[in-house]
Amino acid sequence: MTRAEVEEKLIAIVRKEKDVPDDKLSLETPLADAGIDSLDALTILFAIEEEFHISIPDDRARAMKTFGDMVDSIEMLLKT
């Protein structure tokens, strides 16, 4: 799966779980600035794990501060 495909799927998951405006969902946008709180993040992480059939370690989940971090982490987990 390419990085663009991962990014596309993540955008779809985030949009399904939380109504985030287009201009708030760039790779550099901090998740908090997009209106994603800790409960939203948890729901999104569960949806990601289900969609990609992966398990995201707690330390990696806590390190996700931006949408780009999320893409990087999922891409790395898919390669292992």
The domain covering 3-79 belongs, at the CATH homologous superfamily level, to ACP-like (1.10.1200.10)
List the domain boundaries for the chain: 3-79
Read off the tokens for 19: 């109504």
pLDDT tens-digit profile of 54-79? 999 999 999 999 999 999 999 999 98
Determine which helix (DSSP H) or strand (DSSP E) holds 18, and give its type and residue range: none
Mean pLDDT value across the chain = 92
pLDDT value of residue 42: 93
pLDDT tens-digit profile of 11-62? 999 999 888 887 878 899 899 998 999 899 999 999 999 999 999 999 999 9
pLDDT value of residue 80: 72
Task: HSE, CB side, 13 Å, CA atoms: give it for residue 19.
Answer: 0
